[in-house]
Amino acid sequence: MTGYVIGPYWLITTVSAINYQLMEILPGAKKEFKSFNKNVDPKDDVKLSVEFLNSLNVPGLPDHMLTLKKGCPLILLRNIAPPKLCNGTRLVISNISDNIIEATIITGCGKGEEALIPKVMLTTISDEALYTLKRIQFPLRLAFAMSINKSQGQTLSVAGLHLVEPCF
């Protein structure tokens, strides 16, 4: 698989590529949402440009550029309103606006109910503790495909495995 970096983020790259390929097949207009990224420590602003912060694809955080279509399956990345809207809850988009995504819950105790997902501030510290990133974005990822970690605990009626790279 050329073009992919083998390391802690190669799985996210593979899952994202599959998700965006499948989203392109889905009919309808795409809507793009860019995150607002900020470095927490002002003294690092010189070292860490906005372009660098935008390029980071950190596990547990949504992408800087989130591209969605009505009907896309999603997975929630943060607890918003437990027990219905928890990390790992899967949803399907029913309506998209600039600051709110309306979706139908397809797993868990809220199955079949409508939910409103707002943009939220997410904070992460890098593995090497070189920077702390604050990102304002919808706490969602596309979920046509999921990583092994995100799929644990999910109930799926049909599943396919993409084992091009070693998984253990």
Angle value at C-alpha 124, between 122 and 127, nearest 5 degrees: 160
Residue among 58, 87, 92 at smallest CA distance from 74: 92
More confident: 123 or 136: 136
- In a domain, residue 4? The reply is no
Total domains in the fold of the chain: 1
- The answer, yes or no, to whether residue 168 has pLDDT greater than 90, is no
H-type helices in the chain, by residue range?
10-25, 50-55, 148-151
Determine the average pLDDT of the residues in 82-90: 92
Q: In terms of residue numbers, what domain contains 32?
A: 10-151
Distance CA 56, CA 41 (A): 17
Q: Count, in order, helices (H) and strands (E) of the chain.
A: 3, 10
- In a domain, residue 76? The reply is yes
Determine the average pLDDT of the residues in 64-73: 94
What is the pLDDT at residue 90? 93
- The answer, yes or no, to whether residue 3 has pLDDT greater than 50, is no
The mean of the pLDDT values for the chain is 82
Whole-prediction pTM:
0.79
Distance CA 94, CA 51 (A): 32
Beta strands in the chain (DSSP E): 31-34, 36-39, 65-68, 73-76, 90-96, 100-105, 114-118, 120-125, 132-137, 140-142
- In a domain, residue 161? The reply is no
- The answer, yes or no, to whether residue 157 has pLDDT greater than 90, is no
- In a domain, residue 75? The reply is yes
* Beta carbons of 65 and 59 less than 8 angstroms apart: no
Determine the average pLDDT of the residues in 39-59: 74
- The answer, yes or no, to whether residue 102 has pLDDT greater than 90, is yes
- In a domain, residue 104? The reply is yes
